[in-house]
Structure 1
Amino acid sequence: MFSTHVCARRFHRAHLLSAAAIFLIPSFAAHANELPGKERESAASTRQAAIKKNPEQSSRNTSKQLGAHVKTGAAVPISSNAAERLVVTATRTPQRIQDVPASVSLITRQDIERRMSSSLADVVNRLPDADMAGGARTEGQIPEIRGFNGRDIILQIDGARRNNDTGFAGFSAPLYIDPAFVQSVEVVMGAASTLYGSGSMGGVMSIKTIEAKDLLAPGRTWGADLDGGYQSANENAKGSAKIYGKWGKFDALLAYAGQSFNTIHLGGGQKLAPNDGTSNSALLKLGYDISDRIRIDFGQQFYYIENYRPDNAQAKHLQIYDSSIGKYVPYNQQTGIRQDDSTFHVTTHDAHGNEDGRLTLYRTKNTSWSGPFQSLYSGETQTLETYGFDIQKTLRKDFRRFGNHTFVIGSNYYRDINHTLQKNGQGGGNIPDGQQQVYGFYGSDEIKFPHGIVLTPSLRYDRYNTFASDSSTSTSGAILPKITLAWHPNRNWMVYLSWGKNYRAPTIQETNMNYIVTPNSYYFLPNNKLKPESARTYEGGFSYNKSGLFSTKDHASVRATGFYEDATNLIQLSVIGHHWSPLYQRNEINYQYTNIQHATRYGIELRATYNIENINFGLSYSHLRVKDANTGANLLAQPDKVAADVSYTFPKIGLTAMYSLTAVEAQDYDSTITRRRPGYMLHDILFDWQMPGKPWRVNFAVTNLTNKTYYMYKSISSNNDVPEIGRSFRFNIAYKF
C-alpha cells in the first residue's frame, strides 16, 4: 500500500532517542542528595510500615489531601506519597507502582476525563507498547500490547474476563465499555500466564469501574454527577448521569451514559462514512460490608452500540458484486453489538486491614448482529458467552531469618460458549458453534529478605478443552513456572530480573473458522491441528524515585524495562493461497491461522515523570521487534513510539493547561509489506478547569492540532488503509451535586 519512498518520510529513531534524553537528564542527576545510610533506612522502613498496615487507607488519605487543595485553590504539594499509586494486577497483591517488578502502566480517572474520549483509545494509545488500533470507528478499535492482540491479551472488567474475539479474523473489537464508567486501567506489559492462565502472552489490561466510595465527597452520604460534551471530528455528542450513596454498611451506584455519532472527519480533510449510530450504557453497583473484614458486592453492566456502516468496521468502504445487475454496489449494513457483564465479589481482610481473600464469580455475554443486505445476505447473529470464577487466598507470615513471606494461592476457571445463527433461522455461519473450557491452579510466594532483596517464585498448572459442533476436539495442558528477583538497595531504587514460561490455547474461532460456504471475497479455512502458543520470557528493569532532587518541592521518577522472548508455535493469520471469486470477479485471498514454529521478540519500555510545584513533565518510549527465527522475516511489531506531556496548574483559579506530543516512527520493516505505515507526530492541547469551591468542571481540548493525516499500524487488517481521526475540538462540562 505504501511505497518505500513514502515510508522514508518518517520520524527517525534518533529523534525519538534525542527527545527521550532531553526529558530524562533531570531524573538521573544528583543521586548524591540521598539521605545517609541509617537515616535513609529508618525513613524507608517507617513509610513502608505505614503502607503495609493499610495501603487502601494510605491511598485514600493522599486523594483527600489532593482534593482539599483543589477545593481551596491552594498549590498541590508534590511529595513522594503523591506518586505512591497502588496497583494489584501484576502481582495480585496491592503494591506501589514503583515497587512492582514488572512493566506496568496506570491510567487514572483524571487521565480519562482530560482526554474526553468517546472510547479508551486516546489514553491507551499514549502508553508504551500499547495501542487501540483498527481505525476511527469505535467498533474497529482493538487493544494491542507488545504486538499481541485478540486472545493473546487478557481483558478483564472488575475481574471478569472479556473473551469475545468474534468476526472475520478479529475485525470485531473485543472491548466495549463507555469511558464514563471507568475508574482506572492497569496495563501489565508482558506475559502473565502464571497468575492469569491462557491468553496473557502479550499482557493484561484490567479495568476497574466506578463505585460509590470512589465518587463520594468526604463526610457525604450521597452524591450525583451530570456531564455532557461534544467532539467535532466524529460529530459525537455524549452525556452521563450518576447517583450514588452510602448508608451505614450499604453503598450503591446507578449510572447511565449515552453517545451519538456520525460522519468521521479524518486527518487531511477526508471523511469516513457511513458511521451513523448511537450507544447506550448502564451500570449498577451494590456493596455491603458484612463486618470490618468481610465485604460483598455485585455489579451489572450493559453496553449497546448500533451503527449503519460497512460490515467490516475497519474498512473505509466496502463493495459487493451484485450479479443480478452486473455491477458493484456499496456493502453497508445496520449492525449492533451488545455487551452484558455480571460480577459478584466476596472480599476478606486480615486484622491489619490488608486484603487476604477474594472470590469473583462472573458471566459476560457479547452479542453481535448484522442486518440483511438486499437479497445477497440474510444477516446473522453471533454470541460468545463466558462463565467463570476466580478464587484466591493471601497468607502473610514472618519466618524471621528465612524472610517475610506473602503467599498467594488460587484457582480460576472459565467456559466460552460460541453460537452463530443466520437470519433465515439456520445455524452455522463462518464460525461453527462450539465451547472451550480452561481451568488452572496457581501459587506464588513473595519472600522479603534483609538488605532489600525480594524473591518471588510462582507456579501454575493450566489445561483447556475445546469442543466444536463438527465433533472436532482438542485438549492440552501446561505447567507454567516463573521466578522474579528484585533488589531495593534504598528507598529510591528498585532493580529486578524475571524469567517465566507462558502459553495460550487456540480459540474456537482460530481452529474452526470456515468461511467458504458462499463465493465471498476471501476464504477463512479451518485448522483444527493448531497447536497452543508457548514462550519463555526474560525480563529485567529498574525504577528510580526521588523527592527533593533539585529542590524541596520536586519529585522525579524513571522506570525502564527490557525483555527478550523465545516463542514456539506462535499463532498468526497467514495468507495460504488465492481463489477466483465470482462475487467480486477477481482473485481473492485464502486465509488460515497457522503456527509460526519459532519466533523471537525483544524490546524496551521507558516511563519518566518530573514534577516541581505546579509544573509536570511526563515521557514514555517503547521499542519492539519480532522475527521468525527460522526465516528471519519481521512479524507483527508496533513501531517505536514517544509520548510526552507538559502541564502547568494555575492554583488560584483551578486551571490546568497541558500540551501533549505523540511521535511514532515508520513501520517500514514488517515483511508483510501491506502492513507497513509511515511515521507521524501528533500535537494536542488540553485545558482542565476545576473551579475552586464550585461544583463545576469544564474541559476543552484540540486534538491532532495540525489535522495530520496518519495511519496507525494495524496488525490484523493489513489491507484496510483508513486514516485516523483528524483535528477535533472537544468540550465537556460536568456538575457534581
Structure 2
Amino acid sequence: MHISHAKRGPRRKAGQAPGRPARYTIAQALLVGLLATSLHSAHAQGSEYHIAAQPLDNTLSQIAERHGLQLLAPANLTQGLQAAPVQGRLTLEQAIARALAGSGLTATRSGNTLVVQRHNTEANRPVNHALPEVAVTAAAEVPFGNTASTSTLGGEQLNRFSVTNAGDLFKGMTGVTAANNRTGASLDLNVRGIQGMGRVKILVDGTQSASSDYRGYGGTASHTFVDPELLGGATVSKGPDAGPYGAGATGGVVSLRTLEANDLIQPGNSYGLRLRGTRGNNSSSGSLGGTDGAGNAIPSNNHIASAAGAWKVNERLELVAAVAQRKSGNYSVGGHGGKDNIFPGGSRPVGQWFTIADTPKGTVVDNTSQDARSALLKSTLYLPHEQTLDLGFTSYDNAYGNPRLTMTTEGTPSQHRLSETDKQTYTAKYAWMPDGNPLIDLRANVWGARSEEYRAGGTWGSAHEQISVTRSSGLELWNTSRFAWGWLPRLDVRYGATWLNEKLDITELGTANVAGVNPDGQRDTYSLFAQFEAQPTDWLLLHGGLRRDSYQLKGSKNFTSSIPGQADIITQYDDSDSRINPSIGAAVLPWGEREEFFVRYSEGWRPGSIREVMNSYDPASMPNGPVVPELSKNLEIGTSINAQGLLNANDRAKAGLTFFNTKYENYVIGGLGTFSNIPGVRYRGLELELDYDTGWLFAEYGLTRYLKQQVCNGGILGCTNGEYYASDIELEGINAPPRYQHSFTLGTRLLERKLVLGLRATVVDDRMMPKLNQDGSRNSTAAWTAGWTAYTVYDLFGSYQFNKRLAVNFGVENLRDEYYLEANTPTQLAIPAPGRTAKVTLTYQF
C-alpha cells in the first residue's frame, strides 16, 4: 500500500542489540532455576500431578501441556464444567479419566492432539457459528493466581459480529471500555478507569508495539494496531500482574492471540482452510469525490475478505498462514435520538471552536475510513523430550482517516489526508516440560516489533505532518516448579526474568512549531519476579508474588536558544529507578469445587514513558524532564459460582461479583507539551457477570458500576469527586468512565443448533465526573464540559450452519440508528458512533 505524501522520509536502521547487563541478569536467573531443577531425579512411570479442583478446560489444558499435546475442546462442551482434583503420579489416561469423571465427555489422542467430545452422537451435530470456539493450548501459559480478575473472548464472541474497529470486540466485557474507538484504526483499552501510556499493556502474540501521539487539545492518545480478522482469542487480566508480562502495567494486561492450527483444522483432519468474506453498508467515499485531497483513494464500499490455512505436516510440524483485507469508507452517524450536538444548552459555547462532533444527525463523518491489509505466518515444531518451538510473523498495513483537532475550523469537519501505519512483529517461543519431572516447566520468548506511522496534518496544510517509528524488542524467561508434601499437597512456584527495550524516533515533516511535543528516546525495563500458588487443603488456595522492576530512560533534544546567533543547545537525559512490588491473595471454596470467595491485593509500578519525560511544548523549550513513577495499589474482593442442572440436566450457569478499589499515586498528567505528577487518582466499583446456557437458549449479562472516582490534583479543591473547573481531565490524561454500563445478550439456537438468533443491548450512563466551579459547586455550562450523554444501543446477530463447511453470519449494529457518542470518547475529539450498519459474512471451511 502506498500513501502519497511528498515529504515522507526514509526508514531508519534497525535498533541495536540488547546490552550486556540485561543478558547477564537474565542468565543468572535462569542458572538459579536450572540448579534447583537438577536436584530432582524422579523419572518413574507417569507424571506427578498437583491440580486443584477448577474449571474443566483449565485442567485439560494443564494435562495436555504436561505431555506436549495440543488440546481441541469445543467450549460449548466444557464451559461451566468443573473438574475434580487430579493428584498423584498418573499416566495420561489416568489423569484424563479423573478430570472427565462425571462430565459425560471423553477424550482421545490423535497424534499430538487431545480431542474432547461427548459420549453420544450429539458431538457430531453442526456447531452454531462459522468458526467453532475452541480452548487451545500449545505450550500455553496457564493463569497463575489471578483467574478471578480475568475475562476472555473465544470463537463464539469473536464471530458474533463482523466488527468495524478492533475495540468493538470488547463491547459488554465488564470493567473494559474501548477508548478513542472512532479516532483512527488503533486499539486503546480502558480497564477499570485507567488507560494510555502503557498503563494497560496490549500484547499481540506476546509482542508489544504500542505508540502514542499528541493531538493538541485532544490530549495524547495511545495506539496498538491489530486486524480482528486474524484473531483467535483474547484474555484481559485486570489490575497489576506479577507474571512474565506485568512489568509497567498498572491497569492490566490484554493478551491477543492470532489464529492457530486448531482454530482451522477440524478433528480427524491434518489440514484446514477457511475462506471468509463480509459485505456491509454504511460506507461513503467522502466529501472530496472519493479521495483525501492528496491523491489517495477512499473506499466507497464496506467489505472484508480473508483466507487462512493450516497444515499438520506430521507429528512434529504444524504450519499456519493467513491473509486479510479490510476496506470501509467514511460512515454515517445515527439519525434518531440523542441531542442535536454534545454541548450543554444545545449550542457550542463562545470560544469553543475545536470540536468535531458538530456532525449533524444522519450525515457522513469524514476521516473515518480505512484500507487495511494484514498477513500471518506461524510454525510449531514439536521437538523430542517434550519440547516445542513456535515461530511467528505478522504484518499490518493500513491507510486510514485519523482525526486531529487541526482538522476543523470553527467546528466544521472536512476530509483530510489519510494517515498510514506499517507494522511487523517477529516471535520465537520455546517450551520444555519433561514428562515425569514436575520441577521443570521452562518457557523462553524472544520477539521484536517495528511500527512506522505516518501522521497526516490537517486544515493547516502539512504543518503537522510527521513520521513516527516505534521499535520494541523483548525477552521473557521463566520456569515453574511444582512440589508436593504430605502437609502441603500442592505448591507451584514460578520465577523468571524479563527485558523490554523501546525506542521512539519521530521525524517532523511539517512547518508547525511542535517538534518538542513529539520527542525521541529509548527506555529499557528489566524485571525479576517470583510467584507461588499453594493449596494446603481442598478448600483453600493461596497465591502471591514479588516483582522487582527497574528501568533506564535515555534521550536527547536539540532546542532553540533564546539568544540571537547562538547555536541550538543539545540536552541529554539519563534517568533510572527501581522498586519491588508485592501481590498476595487467597481463595476459599467452602461448599465444593464450584463456589469460590477470593481476595487479592497487588501493587504495580509504571516508570514515565519516553513521551512523558522528553516532551516539551516547542523547539525553544527544555524537555519536560523526569517524572516520578506511578504506583498503583489494587484491592479486589469477590465471589464466583458455577452450577449445572438448575432447570434441566444439560444447562449450566455462572455468576461472578467483584469489588475493586484501586489507588494510583504520583499519577502523571499532561497536556499541551508538559507532563507532571499529581498526588493521585482513585477508582472504586463493582463488576457483575451472569451467564446461563441451556443449549437452545443462552443469556449473558454484565454490569460495571463505578462507585467513586476521585482526583487529587493538589490545586484549590484538593481531592474532589468532580473535575477541576480550570482544566480538562481528558486533555491531561485522566479518564472519566460512565457511572454504570449494562450489557445484556439473549439468544436462541434452533433447528438442531444450525440456526442462531440473538440480540444485544448496551446501556451506558453519563460520565462519572461533572465539571466543578472553584467553590466546588457543579458547573453545567463550562466550555470544556462537552462529553457523551447516556445512551442505549441494540445490536442484532445471527448465523446459519448449512453443513459442516458452509455457514453464514449476519448482524445489524445500532439497530435503532441512534445518534450518540460512545463512552470514553475524548471531549475534544468527540466523533459520534456509526449509525445503523448491516453486515453479512459467508464462511467456507474444510
Tell me the TM-score normalized by structure 1: 0.82
- In structure 2, distance between residues paired with 1:538 and 1:71: 42
Range that drifts further, 593-602 or 123-132: 593-602
The answer to whether the 8 Å contact 1:139/1:173 transfers is no
Q: What are the equivalent positions in structure 2 for 1:525-564 lying under 5 Å apart?
A: 526-564=623-661
- In structure 1, distance between residues paired with 2:542 and 2:192: 26
Give 2:711's aligned amino acid: D
Give 1:638's aligned amino acid: P
1:705 paired to 2:815: yes
Q: CA deviation at 1:397?
A: 0.9
Identity of aligned residues (%): 19
**Residue in structure 1 matched with residue 194 of structure 2 by the alignment:** 148
SS of the counterpart of 1:620?
strand
Q: CA deviation at 1:560?
A: 1.4
- In structure 2, distance between residues paired with 1:434 and 1:266: 40
Q: CA deviation at 1:686?
A: 0.5
Range that drifts further, 478-487 or 196-205: 196-205
SS of the counterpart of 1:332?
coil
**Residue in structure 1 matched with residue 374 of structure 2 by the alignment:** 281
**Residue in structure 2 matched with residue 679 of structure 1 by the alignment:** 790
**Structure 1 pair 319/411, CA: closer, same or farther in 2 (3 Å)?**
same
Q: CA deviation at 1:653?
A: 6.2
- In structure 2, distance between residues paired with 1:353 and 1:182: 34
- In structure 2, distance between residues paired with 1:172 and 1:444: 33
Q: What are the equivalent positions in structure 2 for 1:475-624 lying under 5 Å apart?
A: 475-489=576-590, 490-517=592-619, 526-574=623-671, 590=672, 592-624=674-706
Give 1:705's aligned amino acid: L
1:54 paired to 2:76: no
**Residue in structure 2 matched with residue 361 of structure 1 by the alignment:** 446
Q: CA deviation at 1:302?
A: 0.4
**Residue in structure 1 matched with residue 204 of structure 2 by the alignment:** 157
- In structure 2, distance between residues paired with 1:44 and 1:149: 35
Q: CA deviation at 1:567?
A: 2.2
**Structure 1 pair 361/167, CA: closer, same or farther in 2 (3 Å)?**
farther
Q: What are the equivalent positions in structure 2 for 1:103-114 lying under 5 Å apart?
A: 103-114=149-160
Length, aligned pairs only: 656
Instruction: Tell me which of 261, 273, 282 is aligned to 1:212.
Output: 261
Q: What are the equivalent positions in structure 2 for 1:209-608 lying under 5 Å apart?
A: 209-234=258-283, 235-248=301-314, 249-268=316-335, 269-291=362-384, 293-307=386-400, 309=401, 311-312=403-404, 317-319=407-409, 332-351=416-435, 356-370=441-455, 376-377=462-463, 379-423=465-509, 430-470=517-557, 471-489=572-590, 490-517=592-619, 526-574=623-671, 590=672, 592-608=674-690
Q: What are the equivalent positions in structure 2 for 1:171-190 lying under 5 Å apart?
A: 173-190=222-239
Q: CA deviation at 1:161?
A: 1.9
- In structure 1, distance between residues paired with 2:537 and 2:201: 35
Q: CA deviation at 1:636?
A: 2.6
- In structure 2, distance between residues paired with 1:486 and 1:492: 12
Give 1:346's aligned amino acid: Y
The answer to whether the 8 Å contact 2:652/2:693 transfers is yes
SS of the counterpart of 2:547?
strand
The answer to whether the 8 Å contact 2:73/2:135 transfers is no
- In structure 1, distance between residues paired with 2:719 and 2:837: 44
- In structure 2, distance between residues paired with 1:726 and 1:46: 40
- In structure 1, distance between residues paired with 2:70 and 2:499: 33
Deviations 1:424-479 (CA, angstroms, capped at 9, x unpaired): 89995632221000000000110111132111120010001111113022211110
Q: Which runs of 5+ in 2 are unaligned?
A: 1-50, 76-114, 284-300, 336-361, 558-571, 713-717, 723-733, 773-783
The answer to whether the 8 Å contact 1:440/1:463 transfers is yes
**Residue in structure 1 matched with residue 832 of structure 2 by the alignment:** 723
**Residue in structure 2 matched with residue 648 of structure 1 by the alignment:** 748
The answer to whether the 8 Å contact 1:53/1:353 transfers is no
**Structure 1 pair 688/301, CA: closer, same or farther in 2 (3 Å)?**
same
Q: CA deviation at 1:701?
A: 0.6
Higher helix share: 1
- In structure 1, distance between residues paired with 2:433 and 2:242: 26
Q: CA deviation at 1:418?
A: 0.7
- In structure 2, distance between residues paired with 1:475 and 1:46: 43
SS of the counterpart of 2:584?
strand
Q: CA deviation at 1:517?
A: 4.1
Q: CA deviation at 1:192?
A: 1.9
**Residue in structure 2 matched with residue 631 of structure 1 by the alignment:** 719
The answer to whether the 8 Å contact 1:118/1:178 transfers is no
Q: CA deviation at 1:554?
A: 1.3
**Structure 1 pair 469/92, CA: closer, same or farther in 2 (3 Å)?**
same
SS of the counterpart of 1:121?
helix
- In structure 1, distance between residues paired with 2:582 and 2:698: 40
Q: CA deviation at 1:55?
A: 6.6
Give 1:416's aligned amino acid: E
**Residue in structure 2 matched with residue 667 of structure 1 by the alignment:** 767
**Residue in structure 2 matched with residue 584 of structure 1 by the alignment:** none
**Structure 1 pair 139/172, CA: closer, same or farther in 2 (3 Å)?**
farther
**Structure 1 pair 170/345, CA: closer, same or farther in 2 (3 Å)?**
farther
- In structure 2, distance between residues paired with 1:344 and 1:372: 38
Deviations 1:20-78 (CA, angstroms, capped at 9, x unpaired): xxxxxxxxxxxxxxxxxxxxxx99699797675337969524455579978843799xx
**Structure 1 pair 274/497, CA: closer, same or farther in 2 (3 Å)?**
closer
Q: Which runs of 5+ in 1 are unaligned?
A: 1-41, 77-81, 322-327, 519-523, 575-589
Q: CA deviation at 1:655?
A: 0.9
Give 1:631's aligned amino acid: C
Higher strand share: 1
**Structure 1 pair 70/118, CA: closer, same or farther in 2 (3 Å)?**
farther
Give 2:475's aligned amino acid: F
Calculate the aligned-residue CA RMSD, in Å.
3.4
**Residue in structure 2 matched with residue 30 of structure 1 by the alignment:** none
Give 1:477's aligned amino acid: S
**Structure 1 pair 138/233, CA: closer, same or farther in 2 (3 Å)?**
farther
Give 2:579's aligned amino acid: A
Give 2:254's aligned amino acid: M
Q: What are the equivalent positions in structure 2 for 1:16-31 lying under 5 Å apart?
A: none
Give 2:64's aligned amino acid: N
The answer to whether the 8 Å contact 2:683/2:710 transfers is yes
